Structure formats: C-alpha cells, structure tokens
Structure 1
Amino acid sequence: MSLVALITGTNSNLGLNIAYRLLVEVPSETRLTIIVTSRTLPKAIEAINKIKEHNEKHVRRIAILDFDYVLVDFSNMVSILAAIYELKKNHNKLDYLFINAAQGVYSGIDWIQATKEVLSNPVQASTFPTYKIQKVGVKSSDGLGLVFQANVFGPYYFVQHLAEPLLSHSKNPRVVWISSIMSKPSFLSFDDLQLLRSDISYEGSKRLVDLLHLGSYKELKSRYGINQYLTHPGIFTSFSFFQYLNPLTFYGMLLMFYVARLCGSPWHNISGWKGANAPIFVCLKANPELDLQEKKYGSACTITGKEYLKITEVDATGQADVAKYFEDLKLQWDEKLKNQIADTRKVYADD
C-alpha cells in the first residue's frame, strides 16, 4: 500500500508538524510520499531535509519514505497552473491534500493597543488580537486581492484542477482546509470579497475559507468522491510573525499564551504539533458517515496541555454566494489561461 500527501505551506510551523505527524500516524509499513510546496527551491529542499531528519531521529519508518516538491506561488495564477501541470505529469494519484495557505500583509504591531489589550484581557488579546497592523488594498500581479488570492482563491483553483484525475484516483481522497479561530462572520464584508478595503484581510480570508468549504464540499463528494474537511489549529507559535518580535516580546507572547491556557482557553495549543491534531484527525481517522463535513474541527488542549478535538458549528450565512463567486472566477481564469496549458513550464519561466 502507498499513500501520497501534499502539504501547502510546508515550511511553516504547522506545515512541518503536519508532516511530522504523518510520519508517526500513517502505519509504518505503508509507503509514504510527502510532496512539499514552496515558492523557492532552497526552501523546498530545507523542508524536505527537516522532515527526513525528524524521521531519522524520532520515527524511523519501516516502509519507503519518498519526497517530491512543487514550486508554487498561490498569488500567481501561472505559477499555480505550472504546479498543477507538474503534479499531473509526475504523479498518478493524490490521497491527502492539506491547504495550509496563510499569507498576510502585515506591517507591524500597534504596541500601545497591544499593551492595553493584554492588560485588560490577556485571553482575548491572545485569541482575537486587534493590534496587528495590516496593509490595505494590496493586489497581486494578477490584479486580484493578494491575501484573497494567496489564501483562498489560488488554493481553491489548485484543488479544483487536482480533483480530476489525481484526487479522484485515490481510494479515500481527503482535502483538508486550514482555517483559523479568527474567522468571525463580522470579519468579512460581502461587498469586498477580495478583501481590498479590509484592514483585517487575513482574518477575512479565513472566514472566506469557512464559507467556501461549506459551499463546495458536497460537489467534490458527488462528482469525484472526495471528502473535504474544515479545520483550524487553535493558537500556536507561528514563524510568520517572528520578524516583528524581539526575544523579550517573543517570550512575553509565550507567557501570555500559557496564561490564557491556565485561564481556561481550549485553543492555546502553543506547539505546532498539537496544532496539527485536527488536520491529521480528519485526514486519517474521520469517518465521513459519522464525522460531519459541515462542522469545523479544531485542535484544542486542556489546562495541562493534553490535546483533544473540539468540534464547532460554522455560520453558513452567504456560503452559496461565495461558492458561486469562486466558481465564476475560476471559469474566468480557465479562459484566460487556456492557451498556456500546453507548455506551462515555458510560460512560467517567461513570466
């Protein structure tokens, strides 16, 4: 038996820990292929080496462990098309696809606001912070909202074009979307779906992920036999925001996370390993007949740090409109890119 898993955003803390947990939780006698993604070759090789090292030091799988990589920038449609082309050329199936896109357009921290929030309510400050400053109106080279494209539309286009033949050729295909605890309905305006006027575009993109999942999972199941799940990793230390923290503020953040956990927050997992619990569960253990796909599966932990799964409802308001918007946009880009499919690698090299 063999399994092939593709993890987008592999170099992130969560992406690497999803890979590490696959090494442990996929039966050791199963041949496992992990496909990493990155925008650059050095980062792809770095991710592969970290996963190899983890296996050699901590796991030592019995069966063959294979690796592949695909270079893809989800804010560039030609790059996405090139990645689809390469995957279809080099693989005959795809069992698990983890959509772990998490790009933001941060420009810093409002330290005055951060201090006020931390002193008044550390749990709220570390769960739903409002002090991270995000740029407004940033577009990609394709003219789309950058965060919208990188976190939602680009991955959606990726999934749709891998459904047939790669995912549909698996005996038990799973698509796992990584959303966020920070995906409140109030963070998204339906007259700004590309998030170009939003100063909380990251959070808005995760709300879009929720709605897009609700609006697309049934069709993936009926057309291709693909089970799609919605998850979130809770709160954990992320590499993406380190540039705005010095050692003092980093350890201050960690302390705040532990305080929030001690105050009863179930979401402060802190470690990427625990954050990967829900994505791995829906990938390897969920029963589609019992574990409903309209729910959101969250990685949670107790006060003492013991991990568990916490399942929540998702507000479905607007999911049909979001699904239609994305399908229409996909068709537009299919038309724009139709003449570039024959030799995608050359097009990408010239881009």
Structure 2
Amino acid sequence: MIPVESVNIFKAAIALLKDPANIAKTTGEVMVQSIGSTTKDEFQFGEAFAANFLGHYLLLKELEGVLEKTTKLLKDENRGWEGARVIWLTSDTAEHHMFDPNDIMCLKGAYPYESSKRLIELIHLETAARLREKGIYSVVANPGISATDVMKGTVPTWLILVALYFFRFCFLPAVCITPFNASRSEAYLAIEVTDPNELNPKTVYQSDVTFWGTSRVRKLVLRREGVMDCSADVCTNGNVDLTKIREEVDAIYNRVKKVSA
C-alpha cells in the first residue's frame, strides 16, 4: 500500500536520465505521498505502517507458538517436516535513509511506504535467528517491479506498461511487469526450495525476468546500512538499534492485543 497523492514527472525524468539502472530505488523521490495519514480507528497508526508491516507482524506473533509446536510435533513423528517458513516482502525502494528509528510509523516523514518496507527488513534481521531456533525459517522476498493499481487515478495504466516495457528492453533488472512474474520469488521460497537449510536469512530473493520475459529469481545481499552492530562493548555508528525497534513494535502488538482481548 502506497499513499500516493501525485507523481513528480520532472523528478522522474531527471532520475531516468541520471541513473536509469536504479530507477526503481528513486520512486520514493518521484511519488508524492501523503504525510501523517493514519488509520481510522482508536489506534491511529500510520496508514502505510499498519498496512505494509503491522498486520503481518501481528499475524506472525499470533501464529508463532502454533508454528513452533507443529514443527516439533511433525519432526517427532518423522514426517519429513523441516520447519515452517515466514516470507517477508520488501521493495527496492526500502532505502535505509528513508527510515527514522524515532518515527517508525513515519507519521512525520515523506516516505511512509519505503519506511514500512525497511522496517520489515530490520525486524527480519532482529528475529530471524530466534525464529530459526524454534524451527521457523524467516526469509525476505522482493517482487521487483510490476504493473499494479498502486498509482490508479494518478498515472494511466497504459503509460505504466509502456514505461515498464521500456525499462525491460533497456535490460534493467527485476522489471517483472505482470504480478504473476512478480510472485516468482515468493513461490520459490515457499515451495521450490525443498530444504529450508538452503534459505539464507542474509539474502533477499528477488523476482526477475530475462529480456524475453522468462521468470527467474536473483539473490541479493540484505543491506545492513544504518544498523547498529555491537560486539562486546563496541558498537558501530549506525543509528538503528534492532533490539529497541523490536521492543517498540512488540509494545504496539501488546497494545492491540490488550484492546482486542
């Protein structure tokens, strides 16, 4: 969900001329998003935060115990069960500088969509090891670029398709065009990888297509820019403390759970 209000055609043209290979990463600069948009309920969460991240995290928290018990039960019964899988969806636009650890809902920032996608990556980085100890494999997929109704009413569909085919014929990566091709990475992680031990939590599995439209999956390194990494008493200069981010998100989860109980 992207709260798009308009598209800055001038910035889009500049981005295309300056760095066409990374045009997907500049959409945050090109799309003008509504700032401070919140859910229409008592919580008043950031709209993009709630739609793109919070609902998914709440589902994981509610099912985590069930997934752990099911994994243990089926392993004990020797049914060949290798563990549950949690597949997060990120985006090329999830640039680290678009996420503010002091405003995780991005109520004040100009990039609520990008912020929510970067938050997904950060929570995955924080929880993947703990989940794996429970037999739950956390991985990150990236659907690439496809024609959806995200900008419906802002940019004509035919123009989006023309632009996407132009990008593909310029050999730009991950221009999937159709949602079917975009879902390739999720299907790959869910059913094509039979041994979950092959799943790398430090990798982003991105949907991609060849010049002729054949779908495939690319493996990219999950970026850690801005993340505070500590060893003993020494920490890097990153401004994102993963533990604090997870604690803040858990506090939100507990708040929702208390109200809905």
TM-score (structure 2 length as normaliser): 0.80
1:275 and 2:145 matched: no
1:128 and 2:26 matched: yes
Q: Pick from 87, 91, 104 the counterpart of residue 180 of structure 1.
A: 91
Contact 2:93–2:114 (CA under 8 A) maintained in structure 1 = yes
In the TM superposition, what are the counterparts of 1:67-86 in structure 2 within 5 Å?
Answer: none
Contact 2:24–2:93 (CA under 8 A) maintained in structure 1 = no
**How far apart are 1:192 and its partner, in Å?**
2.2
Task: Give the match for residue 337 of structure 1.
Answer: 257
Identify if the C-alpha distance between structure 1 residues 333 and 262 changes in structure 2 by more than 3 Å, giving closer, same or farther. Answer: closer
2: CA distance, partners of 1:186 / 1:231: 20
Contact 2:101–2:245 (CA under 8 A) maintained in structure 1 = no
**How far apart are 1:154 and its partner, in Å?**
2.8
**How far apart are 1:295 and its partner, in Å?**
0.8
Contact 1:216–1:323 (CA under 8 A) maintained in structure 2 = no
Contact 1:126–1:256 (CA under 8 A) maintained in structure 2 = no
**How far apart are 1:193 and its partner, in Å?**
1.8
**How far apart are 1:275 and its partner, in Å?**
0.6
1: CA distance, partners of 2:54 / 2:242: 11
2: CA distance, partners of 1:179 / 1:284: 19
**Contiguous gaps of at least 5 residues in structure 1:** 1-102, 342-351
2: CA distance, partners of 1:124 / 1:332: 34
Contact 1:126–1:257 (CA under 8 A) maintained in structure 2 = no
Q: Pick from 193, 207, 211 the counterpart of residue 299 of structure 1.
A: 207
2: CA distance, partners of 1:111 / 1:275: 25
2: CA distance, partners of 1:301 / 1:336: 40
Q: Pick from 211, 218, 236 the counterpart of residue 146 of structure 2.
A: 236
1:256 and 2:163 matched: yes
Q: Pick from 54, 58, 63 the counterpart of residue 157 of structure 1.
A: 58
**How far apart are 1:328 and its partner, in Å?**
4.0
**How far apart are 1:185 and its partner, in Å?**
1.4
Identify if the C-alpha distance between structure 1 residues 281 and 333 changes in structure 2 by more than 3 Å, giving closer, same or farther. Answer: closer
**How far apart are 1:134 and its partner, in Å?**
0.3
The 3-state SS of whatever aligns with 2:217 is strand
Contact 1:298–1:310 (CA under 8 A) maintained in structure 2 = yes
The 3-state SS of whatever aligns with 1:169 is helix
2: CA distance, partners of 1:128 / 1:244: 17
**How far apart are 1:190 and its partner, in Å?**
2.3
Q: 1:200 is aligned with what amino acid?
A: Y
2: CA distance, partners of 1:329 / 1:125: 31
Identify if the C-alpha distance between structure 1 residues 330 and 265 changes in structure 2 by more than 3 Å, giving closer, same or farther. Answer: same
Task: Give the match for residue 242 of structure 2.
Answer: 322
Identify if the C-alpha distance between structure 1 residues 168 and 293 changes in structure 2 by more than 3 Å, giving closer, same or farther. Answer: farther
Task: Give the number of aligned pairs.
Answer: 235
State the Cα deviation string for residues 233-278 of structure 1 (Å, max 9, x = none). Answer: 11111122222133xxx22221221221122212101111111111
Indicate the RMSD between aligned Cα atoms, in angstroms. 2.4
2: CA distance, partners of 1:333 / 1:291: 27
Contact 1:153–1:326 (CA under 8 A) maintained in structure 2 = no
1: CA distance, partners of 2:173 / 2:241: 32
In the TM superposition, what are the counterparts of 1:1-351 in structure 2 within 5 Å?
Answer: 103-118=1-16, 123-125=21-23, 128-129=26-27, 130-140=29-39, 141=41, 142-166=43-67, 168-169=69-70, 171=81, 172-223=83-134, 225-246=135-156, 250-286=157-193, 287-316=195-224, 317-318=226-227, 321-331=241-251, 333-334=253-254, 337-338=257-258, 340-341=260-261
